[in-house]
Amino acid sequence: MTLTHPTLARQLAPTPSLLRDVLLVVGGAAFVALLAQAEVPLKPVPLTLQTLGVLLVGAALGWKRALAALAVYVAAGAAGLPVLAGGSAGLMNAAGTGLRASIGYLFSYPLAAALVGFLVERYALDRKFLGTCLAMLAGSVVIYAVGLPVLGALTGLKGGALLTAGLTPFIIGDTIKLLLAALLLPTAWKIIRK
């Protein structure tokens, strides 16, 4: 299967080089870290702009560089750098008694970004509003498909209680982030084409 459509990054920096790729990966990780600092402290999982960054990095960098960027981001947080939501770090909860409830969501980020990047490279979904919505929705599904079961395993929540803790508080915010991305990406392509 050929990935035939350029990403925004490839369109802006078409000459391949290791330096370009390293800068894009580190820049993507830093972008997500920056957006993670905008936080509404819900329990057990905070509401942040982090997922908007994950999905935008996926679309802008393509699947390989997005996977690498989000792996760097998660590794930086695991290593103790204050890049996670609200400037937190580490994979343990605040009390240090177990894994943080959001760990499943964190581990989903490289997969979600890679999926969005793949869809953009394969089908050019980031060029139009509806296509961008579909790519972002697919990435969001991956985040919840990984994050919710891990949240349930760590907290003991099941069924409706799990959905109330790990999904329903985020639906409106995620919809707004999805629509924002669906406006930003096609607009960026229009600007580049001019």
**pLDDT at 92 > cutoff 80:** yes
Structure tokens that stand for 88 in this block: 């937190």
Please classify residue 85 by burial: count the beta carbons closer than 10 Å to its beta carbon, then call 0-12 exposed, 13-18 middle and 19+ buried: buried
Determine the pLDDT at residue 99. 87
Q: Work out the average pLDDT over 170-177.
A: 91
Cα 113 to Cα 160: distance, rounded to the nearest angstrom: 28
Is position 109 within any domain? yes
Q: Is 48 helix (H, G, I), strand (E, B) or coil?
A: strand
Is position 139 within any domain? yes
Is position 3 within any domain? no
Q: For residue 18, name the pLDDT band (cuts at 50, 70, 90).
A: very high
Instruction: Give me the number of domains the chain comprises.
Output: 1
Is position 34 within any domain? yes
* pLDDT tens by residue, 100-159: 889 999 999 999 999 999 999 999 999 999 999 999 999 999 999 999 999 999 999 999
Instruction: Give the phi and the psi of residue 99 in degrees, each rounded to 5.
Output: -70, 145
* pLDDT tens by residue, 48-68: 899 999 999 999 999 999 999
Is position 68 within any domain? yes
Is position 28 within any domain? yes
Determine the pLDDT at residue 43. 76
Cis-peptide, bond into residue 44, ω within 30° of zero? yes
* pLDDT tens by residue, 37-49: 988 777 777 778 9
Average pLDDT score over the chain: 93
Determine the pLDDT at residue 1. 59
Is position 60 within any domain? yes
Q: Work out the average pLDDT over 163-174.
A: 92
- Percent share of the chain, pLDDT over 90: 81
Could you tell me which residue, 115 or 95, shows the higher pLDDT?
A: 115
**pLDDT at 96 > cutoff 90:** no
Determine the pLDDT at residue 13. 93
Question: What is the extent of the structural domain holding 188?
Answer: 8-193
Is position 1 within any domain? no
**pLDDT at 2 > cutoff 70:** no
Determine the pLDDT at residue 135. 97
**pLDDT at 35 > cutoff 70:** yes
CATH number of the domain residue 187 falls in: 1.10.1760.20
DSSP state of 99: B
Q: Work out the average pLDDT over 68-95.
A: 92
**pLDDT at 177 > cutoff 70:** yes
Instruction: Give the phi and the psi of residue 43 in degrees, each rounded to 5.
Output: -115, 140
